Amino acid sequence: TLIVLYGVHDGVDLAPRAAAKLAELGYTRVYLLEGELDGWRAAGGEVFQDVNVPSKSFGEYVEAHRHTPSLSAQEVKALLDARRDVVIVDSRRYEEFQTMSIPTATSVPGAELVLRIRELAPDPTTQVIVNCAGRTRSIIGTQSLVNAGIPNPVAALRNGTIGWLLAD
């Protein structure tokens, strides 16, 4: 695996130390990013700036490359209003789930999704919808269930609980 490192924290360049540690662990394709982040920007590289950027970027990558299925808040509401056979699983930690969730959702933290989905949706025709606060854990949870090969139709709630709230 190719690994490219950069990182200065409190004026200390930690990348060489990380590279040495990875080399000790047997990684052979470890490089330092020339010019650090400024060099990346100057070369036209895209920079994401926010909290949890690596995981959010990964979620966007997964969705774009795996075509992770999703439904809008309006589509999910229509399913609920029609009393369709739907199971909604909220992939956030229980504490986060307690602060805000959508009707009928069950808290199933992401690492437990594949383990618990059969007990929550034993009928393979039950629509499974995965949500989180925003979208990243919805995407990763949905794609995990798809990759695990569950027979149910599975979709992420597009834009998560925030999208649900904004859609009224």
Taking residue 165's Cβ as centre, other Cβ atoms within 10 Å add up to: 13
Pairing of strands 12-13, 8-9: antiparallel
**Which pLDDT score, from 0 to 100, does residue 3 have?**
94
pLDDT of residue 51: 62
Domain that holds residue 17: 3-47
Same domain for 79 and 41: no
Model pLDDT, residue 25: 94
For residue range 38-79, what is the model confidence (pLDDT) as tens digits?
899 999 988 876 666 677 788 888 898 999 999 999 999 999
Question: Are residue 43 and residue 73 in the same domain, yes or no?
Answer: no
Q: Are residues 78 and 157 in the same domain?
A: yes
Q: Cα(first)–Cα(last) distance of the chain, in Å? A: 45
Residue 11: inside a domain = yes
pLDDT score recorded for residue 52: 65
Q: Is 124 domain-assigned?
A: yes
Counted domains in the chain: 2
Residue with tokens 């999208």: 163
pLDDT < 50: residue spans in the chain: none
Is 88 a domain residue? yes
For 4-31, the three-class secondary structure string (H helix, E strand, C coil) is: EECCEECCEECHHHHHHHHHHCCCCCEE
Looking at residue 53, its pLDDT comes to 66
- 99: helix, coil or strand? helix
**What CATH number does the domain containing 80 carry?**
3.40.250.10
User: Both 81 and 156 in a single domain?
Assistant: yes
Helices 136-148, 113-120: axis angle to 10 degrees equals 70
Q: Is residue 57 part of a domain?
A: no
- Whether 63 is in a domain gets the answer no
Query: Domain check: are 158 and 82 in the same one?
Result: yes
- Give a yes or no: residue 54 inside a domain: no
